[in-house]
């Protein structure tokens, strides 16, 4: 039982015995007994202090038997009350202190993780996706009830979730969350102004971090982008697009829903970066054999340096962003390219790990 519940039960039991004691003394004692005398008698009996009886039990067998029961049960309940209160004050505080230290230690060890600010209606879904894809993350929310509700409704994520209760607009707190070592930050607070402040502070602390901010007011979106956010997302806009998609392309939406909700496999569209020293750099897509080796389907490539890919024939792609959709096997993957792939997150992680490991070997 929770310590708070134990204390409440103990106090209710003590109150019940006290009421029974007062009623018994007023009813069983000979003559008129005032409420104050009955209360005093009940208190000194339950406390076991041994003061002189203000209500004499001499000559009354029933009153003496009643008093013995009150002494026995009263002392037991009183001891239980004191032990519960002591445990609540001492064990609760000590456990909380050690728990917080342990949590902060785990958070300090994170690198290339995501920081999620706000665990409300939008943030909880973002956390579930981070958890499903095996992405390291830490949550911060000023409302502890939001964290408790999420932990109660999602036990699997709750066991792994690292979090701090506090104000995400506090620079010191952001430093405790490892803002300087984080790969990305997602802020989903209800206030656009707070999201703007968090964006500014985070960009100042980490120029390389990727910042995604929730934005309700379209006028604020431009301000947040200028403040340093890489992208803004409007839940209202996304919701409207989803409704229209359900009407226009229900089978496509059904497939995407199946991909996101599938229990046995976690299918996702992910990206794999090809770094400068990666063994994948300057190789044709066919040489990587993503389909046969990892069961991963390449959907597109992007040259972040905007170089022209060397292929047998000119490729139709958007020169502004360098995307090549449904790339042919002979497309050349250069250093700095990004592969957009579809597959199980486990297989994608295996492919990404191989590329990273190859980069480390080559750079050693």
pLDDT per residue as tens digits for the range 72-100: 887 888 888 888 777 777 666 666 777 78
The confidence score (pLDDT) of residue 170 equals 94
User: What's the pLDDT at 318?
Assistant: 38
- Three-state SS for 141? strand
Q: Can you tell me whether residue 242 is helix, strand or coil?
A: helix
Q: What number is the average pLDDT over the span 302-315?
A: 50
pLDDT, residue 3, reads 66
- Around Cβ 301, how many Cβ atoms within 10 Å? 25
Q: What angle is formed at CA 139 by the lines to CA 233 and CA 264, rounded to 5 degrees? A: 80
* Contact yes or no for 161/131 (Cβ under 8 A): yes
Please determine, for residue 120, whether its predicted confidence score (pLDDT) is greater than 70.
yes
Q: What is the mean pLDDT of the chain?
A: 83
Checking if the pLDDT of 35 tops 60, the result is yes
Residues linked to residue 6 through DSSP beta bridges, in sequence order: none
> Given this model, what pLDDT does residue 51 score?
67
Say yes or no to pLDDT of 307 above 80. Answer: no
Residue pair 167/188 in contact (Cβ under 8 Å)? The answer is no
Q: Could you give the domains of the chain?
A: 3-105 (1.10.287.70), 111-240 (3.40.50.720), 266-363 (3.30.70.1450)
pLDDT exceeds 50 at position 364: no
User: Between 351 and 2, where is the model more confident?
Assistant: 351
* Per-residue pLDDT at 42: 82
Report residue 319's pLDDT band, with 50, 70 and 90 as the boundaries. Answer: very low
Least confident of 52-61, 215-224, 354-363: 354-363
Residue linked to tokens 């409007």: 234
User: How far is Cα 170 from Cα 117, in angstroms, rounded to an integer?
Assistant: 12
Section 26-47 average pLDDT: 79
Q: Mind listing the pLDDT tens digit for each residue in 240-297?
A: 998 999 999 999 888 888 777 766 678 888 999 888 888 888 889 999 999 999 999 9
Q: Inform me whether the pLDDT recorded for 60 exceeds 80.
A: no
Q: Which residues of 308-331 are buried (b: 16+ CB within 10 A; e: fewer)?
A: ebebeeebebeeeebbbeebeeeb
């Amino acid at each position: 039982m929770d310590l708070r519940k134990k204390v409440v039960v103990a106090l209710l039991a003590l109150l019940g015995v006290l009421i029974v004691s007062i009623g018994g003394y007023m009813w069983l004692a000979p003559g008129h007994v005032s409420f104050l005398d009955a209360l005093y008698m009940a208190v000194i009996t339950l406390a076991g202090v041994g003061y002189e009886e203000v209500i004499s039990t001499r000559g009354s067998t029933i009153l003496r038997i009643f008093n013995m029961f009150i002494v026995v049960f009263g002392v037991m309940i009183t001891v239980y009350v004191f032990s519960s209160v002591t445990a609540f004050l001492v064990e609760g505080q000590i456990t909380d202190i050690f728990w917080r230290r342990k949590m902060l230690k785990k958070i300090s060890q994170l690198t290339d993780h995501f920081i999620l600010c706000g665990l409300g209606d939008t943030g909880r879904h973002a956390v579930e996706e981070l958890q499903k894809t095996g992405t390291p993350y830490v949550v911060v929310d000023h409302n502890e009830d939001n964290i408790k509700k999420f932990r109660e409704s999602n036990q699997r994520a709750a066991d792994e979730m690292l979090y701090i209760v506090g104000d995400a607009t506090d620079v010191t707190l952001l430093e405790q969350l490892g803002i300087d070592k984080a790969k990305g930050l997602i802020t989903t607070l209800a206030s656009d102004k707070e999201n703007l402040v968090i964006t500014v502070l985070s960009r100042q602390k980490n120029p390389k971090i990727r910042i995604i901010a929730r934005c309700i007011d379209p006028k604020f979106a431009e301000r947040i982008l200028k403040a340093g956010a890489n992208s803004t997302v409007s839940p209202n806009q996304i919701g409207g697009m989803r409704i229209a998609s359900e009407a226009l392309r229900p089978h496509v939406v059904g497939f995407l829903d199946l991909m996101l909700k599938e229990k046995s496999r976690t299918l996702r569209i992910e990206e794999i970066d090809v770094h400068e020293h990666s063994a994948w750099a300057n190789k044709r897509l066919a040489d990587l054999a993503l389909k046969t080796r990892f069961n991963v389907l390449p959907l597109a490539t992007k040259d972040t340096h905007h170089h022209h890919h060397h292929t047998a024939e000119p490729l139709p792609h958007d020169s502004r962003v360098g995307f090549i959709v449904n790339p042919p096997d002979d497309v050349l993957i250069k250093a700095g390219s990004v592969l957009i792939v579809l597959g199980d997150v486990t297989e994608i992680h295996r492919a990404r790990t191989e590329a990273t490991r190859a980069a480390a070997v080559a750079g050693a």
